[in-house]
Amino acid sequence: MTVSILLFLPIVAALLVLLFKNETVKHAALFFALVELGIAAYFLAGFVPDASVQYAIDAPWIPKMGIYFSAGIDGISMIMVLLTTVLVPLIILTTYKHEYKNAKAFYALILFMQAGLLTVFTALDGFLFYVGWEAALIPIYFICALWGGENRIRINIKFFIYTFAGSLFMLLGIIYLYLQTPAKVYDLRGFYDLSLTLTQQSWVFWAFFIAFAIKMPIFPFHTWQPDTYTEAPSAGTMMLSGIMLKMGIYGVIRWLIPNAPAGFLQWQNLVIILSVIGIVYASLIAFNQKDGKRLVAYSSIAHVGLIAAGIFAWTTQGVQGAMIQMLSHGINVVGMFFIWDIISRRLNTRDISQMGGIAKVAPNFSIAFLIILLGTVALPLTNGFVGEFLLLKGVFNYNIWFAAVAGLTIIFGAVYMLRMYKNVMQGETNELTAIFTDISGSEKLVLGIICVLIIGIGVYPQPILHISEAAVTNLVNTVSAKFNNAQF
Amino acid sequence: MTTLIIISVLPIVILYLGLYKVQKALLPVTVVGLLAALGAAVMQWDNNAEPIYHGMMLFNNFSVAFSVVSIVSTILILLLSKGYFERISNHIAEYYAIILFSLVGIIVMVSYHNLTMLFIGIEIMSVSLYILAGIRKSDFASNEAALKYFLMGAFSTGFLLFGITLIYGSSGSFDLDVIRDWVVTHPRNIDPLFYTGIMLIIIGLCFKVGAAPFHFWTPDVYEGAPSLITLFMSTVVKVAGFAAFLRLFSACFLTIAGFWTPVLLVITIITLFIGNITALYQQSFKRMMAFSSISHAGYLLFAIVALGAGSANSIFVYATAYSIASIIAFGALILVRQQTGSDNFEGFNGLAKKNPFLALVLTVSMLSLAGIPLTAGFIGKFFMFSGALAHYNFWLVIIAVVNAIISIFYYFRVIIAMYFRSAERAEVEVPAYYKFVLGFSAVVTIVIGIYPTFISSLI
């Protein structure tokens, strides 16, 4: 079995769900997403956690141009595949209480997007990577623009243009690398073997960096994010924040730094500073948010800023921290947006200041909310802690002052998150919140799974760290070797 | 050569059919005749052709490939014309005949091996087009279009002819091979008049393909002419213009590229910006397509600026993708216009609810024109960018990327109107012919987008 089955199944599924009726299509979508999860689990069971690429496929696609359908799973990709295949069924489950108009198209787009995401996470060919990158963008644009809130048209065209602009520059970077390879191939390993001059690497670095920085997003490329997250339908927000932004982070680890190590080192300080500014900036704005979904959106920028800083510090610990934090952040942020989806569906508002005392009327909900919140603020024994600790360690090794400022994210995060919890859940129940009914059915299931994952990974992160350890170590060493060997 | 003969005889047959009032047979006969011409063209493939008729024509793979694109596009366009010409005129046979005459000129333009044949081909094509643009005799805009096109066209043909004469004066021949040999053997002492000739030819050809700053006729002519004629001009004619352009420059002037490349570079950049930025401000879908066709001319010029072994193939792929997408766009426009009576973007509001098929194919077309992956348009842009980067034209490609981003705004306006804006409207009736042409074009767009291998190494 090769990874291609993982990439093509969602496309087939996306076409098949179109045959179902609008009322039953969610079950079909969930079924296919679970099959996909099953395949990923099968891959995981047979996965050998060394640095090698497994389940690889390498078929000619446009051989004349040096383009091959080349994909495979190593430790880093395995984490991303797990992230995607676990979250997509969960996200589909969160939509069970929604009645979307034209639901067939909605689920088909989600499944199609999953194919694009998995392509990005497993591609070993520059062209394939780019195609997957864009194939994930088109469906999410339609999801957000068709089922989103009031200002969806204006906001989503901004989002689309932002990300499309970034990716076109990345395409130039990819073509440029291709032209430098002696064998004229788009193969990633061919790219790794190149030895470019410092100037060349700087150009390549920026071509890739802009694309990834927009996707994550890193300050000052973040301006599309809060609006898009707020206006998107909740499932779209979860796809964007839970999985799609990881495309940018993954891209940095796999495509940016190893392809242009010297260019990266030259700009390392700047990009870390940008990441750290993003952390503080987003946290400060999050303090003042009245809209709960928007608050979570800003907190996501802060968390991603820390992940970016940890990667840009480029130590094994930092990158390992980024790997596990990508998984944890995906789980937590999906949980958080689901919490706000539940609240806004019941109360028809997301205004924090109008709420209070929900804990009294909805005890199960308040427990789940609290656990997800603790995971988000990185309390020890939750999943958030493991990753943020390693990330901060990575930044600390690079520069103690950066680490000190980046560490503020934990304090800030705790303050605005707990304040949000206090305002929403505690205090006296008022007229608005008295009607709040506790969670049931699919809501209970989703929040239950998320809580188990948060605590499970928090208490025993070793298996997950183990998956990516060899691959990350190998990658970090390759890059440092490449840098040491180069003469400038 | 058989292709050319078939397409030349066909319009005469059509005219006789018109004379005897067999209106129903016009379209089938035309299509069957074109299919025969298409078959004859394909038979020529890989024949290692030599120049024939004293070096006048050369039917090599290049000309076969572009003949095939032109003929297939013409067939698709003619299929869309079912019922269209009847509504705007009584002389239907003339339409078919003139379009076919124009196609004769186009086949000559893609297979010439002698500058006189280039001139004759361009003239056969252009004279037919002048008539076609003004074929709605009582319509003011159509008349204006025809007159404008004729005056400007005659002017530019003058430039072209003057250029050809100067080149003849310097090199002593109209034959492409002889001119090339003359350029190669006289690297040091090329006559200034020869360079002037190249410049004049560039001006003449840029006019024909609608590249800025020689584009002023395009918006008015495209808007004034009947939609199907606009479609024919902006796809088949433009593609033929580029094929002729490329054939001349790659055959003769490759070794002195350092002289004319900077000129074309400037023209390309101006074309991209003027086409895209003006398209942004259009309220009419048809006019937007006119300006976007200017910007596509800019992308197509990439292959000539970065002239190399892959140029022919890049233009071929790009032109195919662009033509197919345009056919969908204009087909949808004609249908929507029949219902709403206007060319404006508002006419598309809420189309997706009533006509999901039409909205879907038009979306595919817009995505392809915008160059989004998994469509043919992306493959075309990808080839163009690769070619230009291989020649180290970094700034050109960065400018092209900026323009690709600008183009998203206006292409997505249609998608937004169809899917995200609502309007009270009835279902647009889509005839079976349209369903076939639009569906076929959309499928081809996606197939080329996913698996371009078969088309990527033809020429």
pLDDT per position as a tens digit, B149-205: 999 899 899 999 999 999 999 988 999 999 999 998 887 788 889 999 999 999 999
Interface test with A, best of B416, B421, B458 (most A CBs within 10 A): B416
pLDDT tens-place string over residues A257-274? 999 988 898 899 999 999
Q: Determine the pLDDT at residue A42.
A: 94
Mean of pLDDT values over A141-165 = 88
Q: Find the residue in B nearest to A152 (Cα).
A: B420
Residues of chain B with pLDDT under 70: 459
- Decide if B401 and A135 are in contact by the 8 Å CB cutoff: no
Q: Is a pLDDT exceeding 90 seen at residue A239?
A: yes
The answer to whether ipTM exceeds 0.85 is yes
Q: Does A142 touch chain B (CB under 8 A)?
A: yes
3-state secondary structure chain B: CHHHHHHHHHHHHHHHHHHCCCHHHHHHHHHHHHHHHHHHHHHCCCCCCCCECCCCECCCHHHHHHHHHHHHHHHHHHHHCCCHHHHHCCCHHHHHHHHHHHHHHHHHHHHECEHHHHHHHHHHHHHHHHHHHCCCCCCHHHHHHHHHHHHHHHHHHHHHHHHHHHHHHHHCCCEHHHHHHHHHHCCCCCCHHHHHHHHHHHHHHHHHHCCCCCCCHHHHHHHHCCHHHHHHHHHHHHHHHHHHHHHHHHHHCHHHHHHHHHHHHHHHHHHHHHHHHHHHCCCEHHHHHHHHHHHHHHHHHHHHHCCCCCHHHHHHHHHHHHHHHHHHHHHHHHHHHHHHCCCEHHHHCCHHHHCHHHHHHHHHHHHHHHCCCCCHHHHHHHHHHHHHHHCCCHHHHHHHHHHHHHHHHHHHHHHHHHHHCCCCCCCCCCCHHHHHHHHHHHHHHHHHHHCCHHHHCCC
- Decide if A130 and B412 are in contact by the 8 Å CB cutoff: no
* Total beta-carbon pairs less than 8 A apart between chain A and chain B: 67
pLDDT tens-place string over residues A118-130? 999 999 999 999 9
Q: Is a pLDDT exceeding 90 seen at residue A452?
A: yes
- Decide if A142 and B419 are in contact by the 8 Å CB cutoff: yes
Structural domain count, chain A: 1
Residues from chain B contacting residue A134 (CB–CB below 8 Å):
372-374, 378
Residues from chain B contacting residue A178 (CB–CB below 8 Å):
386
Residues from chain A contacting residue B452 (CB–CB below 8 Å):
62
User: What is the rounded average pLDDT for all residues in chain A?
Assistant: 90
The domain in which residue A40 lies consists of: 4-485
Chain B residues with CB under 8 Å of a chain A CB are 367, 372-374, 378, 382, 385-386, 389-390, 397-398, 401, 404-405, 408-409, 412, 416, 419-421, 451-453, 456-457
Q: pLDDT class for A487, splitting at 50, 70, 90?
A: low
